[in-house]
């Protein structure tokens, strides 16, 4: 039986399994010095592990052959962290990396009243999720969702039962979900959600929970809360 944790794992987008290119190509050929006929392992980030051999090395890519799916697993927990966008790109990338490392399935970014930033650099965030996948030898790639307003985001959660949001004024703790449905944790901006926004969040049946007695930065709260929810 193959021990995934001991493999040098690469990432290839689903259904593009015959080619290794971009940064994955550079790491494989230029850094690790892999040669033609060498065996490599890769994942598509959807729970699948593949083995293959390097058939031909080109200038900016290599062709793969003998591609075989050797393992396929289902995600045990479906957790989404929805967080108000923060100003610092470095802190934003750190948060995405750590949420990916602890196994959060999806990260959604929210525009709320006290947000200081209005756009995202998706490509840089995607690179962080791939880096985390490889660091942890995970078969699942954390998905980065598009930036939406709080109101529009809440509309999308109407059918989800396990919904929480971090609240410094709450003494409530996480309840272990009674079903295997998706769970959501909503984290506000540095200046917190406005009263109007909190009323809207409660109206959409989110439960306010405590993330501890300390006042946390947005990105820290997201990682702490995500870890707590992940380990219920």
The pLDDT value recorded for residue 178 is 67
CATH for 203: 3.40.1280.10
Picking from 37-41, 112-116, 156-160, which range would have the lowest pLDDT averaged per residue? 112-116
Q: How far is the C-alpha of 143 from the C-alpha of 205, rounded, in Å?
A: 24
pLDDT band (50, 70, 90) for residue 179? low
Do the beta carbons of residue 148 and residue 170 sit within 8 Å?
Answer: no
Query: Within this chain, do residues 52 and 83 fall inside the same structural domain, yes or no?
Result: no
Query: Within this chain, do residues 68 and 83 fall inside the same structural domain, yes or no?
Result: no
Query: Within this chain, do residues 99 and 211 fall inside the same structural domain, yes or no?
Result: yes
Query: pLDDT for 92-105, tens place per residue?
Result: 999 999 999 999 99
Highest mean pLDDT among 44-48, 191-195, 211-215: 44-48
pLDDT band (50, 70, 90) for residue 177? confident
Q: With 80 as the cut, is the pLDDT of residue 219 above it?
A: yes
Query: Within this chain, do residues 141 and 83 fall inside the same structural domain, yes or no?
Result: yes
Alpha helices in 48-114 (DSSP H): 89-101
Nearest to 111 by CA among 136, 77, 95, 87: 87
Query: pLDDT for 134-174, tens place per residue?
Result: 999 999 999 999 899 999 999 999 989 899 999 888 888 88
Do the beta carbons of residue 71 and residue 139 sit within 8 Å?
Answer: yes
Query: Within this chain, do residues 37 and 142 fall inside the same structural domain, yes or no?
Result: no
Q: How far is the C-alpha of 114 from the C-alpha of 107, rounded, in Å?
A: 19
Q: With 70 as the cut, is the pLDDT of residue 16 above it?
A: yes
Query: Within this chain, do residues 61 and 97 fall inside the same structural domain, yes or no?
Result: no
Query: Within this chain, do residues 56 and 127 fall inside the same structural domain, yes or no?
Result: no
Average pLDDT over residues 64-90: 92
pLDDT band (50, 70, 90) for residue 5? confident
Q: How far is the C-alpha of 8 from the C-alpha of 229, rounded, in Å?
A: 29
Residue 59: C-alpha distances to residues 39, 53, 63, 86 (Å): 19, 17, 11, 39
Average pLDDT over residues 98-124: 91
Query: Within this chain, do residues 16 and 122 fall inside the same structural domain, yes or no?
Result: no
Percent of the chain whose predicted confidence (pLDDT) is above 90:
75
Work out how many domains the chain is built from and give that number: 2
User: Model-level pTM?
Assistant: 0.91
Query: Within this chain, do residues 89 and 27 fall inside the same structural domain, yes or no?
Result: no
Q: Which residue has the tokens 């709080």?
A: 150
The secondary structure of the chain in percent helix, strand, coil, rounded to multiples of 5, reads 30, 30, 45
Domain holding 149, by residue range, is 79-230
The pLDDT value recorded for residue 134 is 94
Picking from 1-5, 9-13, 29-33, 191-195, which range would have the lowest pLDDT averaged per residue? 1-5
Q: How far is the C-alpha of 108 from the C-alpha of 188, rounded, in Å?
A: 12
The pLDDT value recorded for residue 115 is 86
Q: Which residue has the tokens 């820290």?
A: 220
């Amino acid at each position: 039986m193959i021990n995934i944790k001991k493999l040098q794992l690469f990432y290839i987008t689903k259904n593009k399994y015959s080619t290794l290119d971009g940064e994955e190509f550079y790491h494989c050929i230029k850094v690790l010095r892999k040669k033609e006929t060498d065996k490599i392992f890769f994942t598509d980030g959807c729970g699948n592990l593949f083995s293959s051999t390097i058939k031909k090395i080109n200038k900016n890519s290599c062709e793969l052959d003998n591609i075989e799916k050797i393992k396929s697993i289902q995600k045990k927990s479906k957790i989404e962290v929805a967080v108000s966008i923060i100003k610092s790109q470095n802190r934003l990338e750190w948060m995405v990396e750590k949420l990916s490392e602890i196994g959060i399935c999806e990260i959604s970014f929210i525009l709320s009243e006290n947000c200081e930033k209005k756009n995202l650099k998706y490509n840089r965030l995607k690179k962080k999720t791939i880096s985390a996948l490889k660091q942890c030898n995970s078969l699942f790639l954390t998905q980065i969702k598009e930036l939406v307003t709080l109101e529009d985001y809440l509309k999308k959660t109407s059918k989800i039962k396990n919904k929480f949001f971090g609240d410094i004024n709450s003494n409530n703790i996480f309840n272990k979900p009674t079903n295997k449905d998706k769970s959501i944790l909503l984290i506000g901006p540095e200046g917190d959600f406005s009263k109007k926004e909190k009323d809207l969040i409660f109206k959409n049946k989110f439960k306010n929970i405590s993330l501890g007695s300390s006042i946390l930065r947005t990105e820290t709260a997201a990682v702490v809360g995500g870890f707590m929810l992940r380990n219920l």
